[in-house]
């Protein structure tokens, strides 16, 4: 007897099939956790959730319910107020519906028919207004039906391993001027084990949430009077950021990058010339000065082009590597703002390399080596994705093939694992995206490396070659961290705030037992500051010793040094090492040397 192994799929029609039938029917969708299978499972689960909501709240109207990176969601509106406490009830109803094993069926309607069926549903009318096709598909299960492109599983009984994860507000179609809808997120997997592992990761992620940890540690904050998406860096967070910048700057200097700085506001004429005005205007901020329109920069490339144009360039000058910790502003919608991960003002670790076509491969090799050193320093595993020429693009086939081959060869020679996103490159050149995996297995998009054959042409960049001819250079956009804000958010969650000593905002806290030890604590702090790059605080609040030690622990400082009479007299210090999870004693001079060594031993 043949084993039942999956669901047969062809042209959005689904049926169960056995291994014997596969040769006749074709492709099978297995009940596994592959991207294709999970997309169908989660899409079907979104409709299961909507059906459950409709049964509990009969007046509910639904907008869209797509599959997203974190699972699925549905946007809808109801008259009742729904909160986190209602999710278990909706889940229970979903399980009840799944057990009824409703077939999931598809039918195709003409637009006029669909408009008649959903004539009293303003959200469905809004969905249809966004669809250009004259034929619309509707999926039904039990007495619930909804407009949908599909695909779906053939029956609700296949949906067993799911969990609703959170509830939020969402503007209709992402438009801040439109009505606010309710959005419920959920997750679904092919088996119980995968769901259990994901839920464990979710709980761990809540503990590590950079917004929570950042507040506890006093790293950064936001103020409504200043504006959404505009972070305030508090002293500890600013020190953390400075430590990261210092490490990066040292690495850039030895790799022969030159610092530059461009204005944060430029005339709109230059943004028109670059193409940003036509293609990126809605994400930019503009103002009028002396009857002339200016745009606040959303990226640093145009300023660096102007630096390149500030002098005549020869082939002997290339490659030129310019870097800037450039502050940029982008008009992100309020609904997508998320702590430091998505803000409206951020600082890129930006660099632009101007080189010849023959130098592309060596420059990509340098960037990959640089990336390795940074990721290894923080213990990140990572992978890269190579995106190739899209349908709409500029430049000759020869240039595209040469640039793409240079990226592939560099990745292969460095033994870098990478995926290929066919047609996913920018219109002006191929690119590499850097994706890191954190301590609990989540993947994050960080840096990017893009080869640009568009801006050099638009701005008529040139260098003089060995034959005294004018030749257009290649421009490589390169950001390894992506932005300091996003990278620090990822670091915070990766380490749960337990930053390695070399990057921590405070390396040690001195806790004098009483007033008698305070003068020694101050003298010791000054000595450490003078003789090392470590930052030391004194915790001398008028509180019990136990309370002060707990406060130091909450701040996640690597070393806690308690100072009593014995320590003052002997100059041998009792140290609590959070990273090593042990206690030991060190003479004060050896403590200073240890701090110098640990901070100095890390290089990018």
| Calpha distance 163→141 (Å, rounded) | 20
* Residue 267 DSSP one-character state: E
Nearest to 6 by CA among 372, 542, 25: 25
Is there a catalytic annotation at residue 301? Answer: yes
Catalytic residue among 51, 61, 141, 348: 348
- Vertex 603: Cα angle to 359 and 253 (nearest 5): 50
What's the gap between Cα 322 and its chain centre?
A: 25
Distance CA(600)–CA(563), nearest Å, equals: 26
- Any catalytic annotation for residue 352? yes
Helix (H) or strand (E) holding 8: strand 4-10
Q: How many CA atoms are closer than 13 Å to the CA of 542, on its beta-carbon side? A: 0
Q: Counting beta carbons within 10 angstroms of the beta carbon of residue 48, is it exposed (0 to 12), middle (13 to 18) or buried (19 or more)?
A: buried
Identify the bridge partners of residue 58 per DSSP, sorted by sequence position.
none
Q: Is the bond preceding residue 394 a cis peptide, omega within 30 degrees?
A: no
Determine which one of 93, 329, 477, 598 is catalytic: 477
The 10 Å Cβ neighbour count of residue 206 is 9
> Residue 474 corresponds to which tokens in the numbers above?
């290649």
For 306, other C-beta atoms within 10 Å of its C-beta total 15
337: exposed, middle or buried (Cβ count in 10 Å: 0-12, 13-18, 19+):
middle
DSSP structural state of residue 293: E
Give me the residue label for tokens 């009840």. 96
Residues 45, 186: contact at Cβ < 8 Å? yes
SS3 call for 539: coil
The conformation of residue 343, written as its DSSP 8-state character, comes to -
Alpha helix stretches (DSSP H) within 467-514: 484-495
Catalytic residue among 54, 208, 330, 494: 330
525 is catalytic: no
b/e for 359-385, b at 16 or more Cβ within 10 A? bbbebbbbbbebbeebbebbebebebb
Q: Which strand (E) or helix (H) includes residue 306?
A: helix 301-308
Residues 6+ apart with CB under 8 A from 68: none
Beta-ladder partners of 412: none
152 an active-site residue? no
Distance in angstroms (rounded) separating the CA atoms of residues 359 and 169: 49
Q: Are 384 and 480 in contact (CB under 8 A)?
A: no
User: Beta strands of 330-405 (E only): which ranges?
Assistant: 345-355, 381-387
Which residue among the candidates 75, 146, 349, 350 is catalytic per the annotation? 350
Tokens of 22: 């596969």
Cis? peptide before 164, omega within 30° of 0: no
Residue 245: enclosing H or E segment and its boundaries? helix 235-254
Catalytic residue among 148, 301, 355, 446: 301
Residue 86 annotated among the catalytic residues of the structure: no
Question: Active site residue: 329, 352, 525, 598, which one?
Answer: 352
Query: Which three-class secondary structure state does DSSP give residue 151?
Result: coil
> 431, 494, 525, 548: which is the annotated catalytic residue?
431
Give the residues across from 426 on adjacent strands.
429
d(CA 575, CA 573): 6
User: Which residues are the active-site residues?
Assistant: 301, 330, 348, 350, 352, 431, 477
């Amino acid at each position: 007897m043949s084993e039942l192994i999956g669901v047969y799929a062809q042209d959005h029609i689904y049926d169960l099939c056995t291994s014997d039938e596969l040769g006749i029917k074709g492709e099978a969708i297995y009940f596994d956790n592959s991207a294709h299978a999970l997309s169908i499972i989660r899409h079907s689960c979104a409709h299961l959730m909507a059906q459950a909501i409709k049964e509990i709240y009969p007046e509910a109207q639904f907008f869209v319910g797509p599959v997203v990176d974190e699972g699925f969601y549905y946007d809808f509106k109801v008259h009742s107020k729904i909160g986190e406490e209602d999710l278990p009830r909706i889940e229970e109803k979903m399980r009840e519906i799944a057990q009824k094993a409703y077939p999931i069926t598809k039918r195709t309607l003409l637009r006029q028919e669909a408009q008649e069926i959903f004539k009293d549903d303003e959200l469905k009318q809004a969905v249809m207004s966004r669809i250009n096709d004259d034929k619309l598909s509707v999926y039904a299960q039990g007495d619930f039906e909804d407009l949908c492109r599909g695909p779906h599983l053939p029956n609700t009984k296949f949906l067993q391993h799911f969990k609703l994860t959170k509830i939020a507000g969402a503007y209709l179609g992402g438009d801040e001027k439109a009505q606010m809808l309710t959005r419920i997120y959920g997750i679904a997997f092919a088996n119980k084990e995968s769901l259990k592992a994901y839920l464990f990761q979710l709980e761990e992620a809540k503990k590590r949430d950079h917004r929570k940890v950042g507040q506890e540690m006093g790293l950064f904050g936001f103020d409504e009077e200043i504006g959404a998406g505009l972070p305030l860096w508090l002293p500890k967070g600013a020190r953390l950021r400075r430590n990261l910048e210092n490490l990066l700057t040292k690495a850039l200097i030895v790799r022969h990058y030159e610092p530059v700085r461009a204005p944060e506001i430029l005339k709109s004429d230059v943004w028109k010339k670059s193409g940003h005005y036509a293609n990126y205007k809605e994400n930019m901020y503009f103002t009028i000065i002396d009857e002339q329109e200016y745009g606040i920069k959303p990226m640093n490339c145009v300023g660096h082009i102007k630096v390149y144009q500030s002098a005549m360039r020869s082939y002997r000058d290339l490659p030129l590597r310019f870097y800037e910790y450039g502050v940029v502003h982008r008009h992100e919608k309020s609904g997508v703002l998320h702590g430091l991960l998505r803000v409206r003002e951020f600082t890129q670790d930006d660099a632009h390399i101007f080189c010849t076509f023959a130098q592309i491969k060596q420059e990509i090799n340098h960037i990959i080596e640089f990336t390795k050193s940074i990721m290894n320093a923080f213990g990140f595993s990572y992978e890269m994705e190579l995106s190739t020429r899209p349908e709409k693009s500029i430049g000759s086939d020869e240039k595209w093939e040469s640039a793409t081959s240079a990226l592939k060869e560099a990745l292969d020679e460095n033994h870098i694992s990478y995926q290929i996103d066919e047609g996913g490159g920018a219109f002006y050149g191929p690119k590499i995206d850097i994706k890191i995996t954190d301590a609990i297995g989540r993947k994050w998009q960080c840096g990017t490396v893009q080869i640009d054959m568009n801006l050099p042409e638009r701005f008529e960049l040139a260098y003089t070659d060995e034959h005294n001819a004018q030749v257009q250079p290649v421009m490589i956009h390169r950001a390894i961290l992506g932005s300091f804000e996003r990278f620090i958010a990822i670091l915070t969650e990766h380490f749960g705030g337990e930053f390695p000593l070399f990057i921590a905002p405070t390396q040690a806290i001195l806790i004098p037992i009483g007033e008698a030890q305070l003068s020694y604590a101050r003298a010791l702090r000054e000595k450490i500051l003078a003789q090392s790059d470590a930052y030391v605080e004194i915790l001398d609040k008028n509180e019990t010793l136990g309370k002060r030690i707990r406060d130091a622990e909450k701040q996640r400082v690597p070393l806690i040094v308690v100072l009593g009479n014995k320590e003052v007299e002997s100059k041998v210090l009792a140290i609590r090492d959070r990273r090593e999870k042990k206690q030991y004693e060190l003479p004060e001079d050896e403590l200073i040397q240890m701090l110098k060594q640990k901070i100095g031993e890390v290089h990018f």
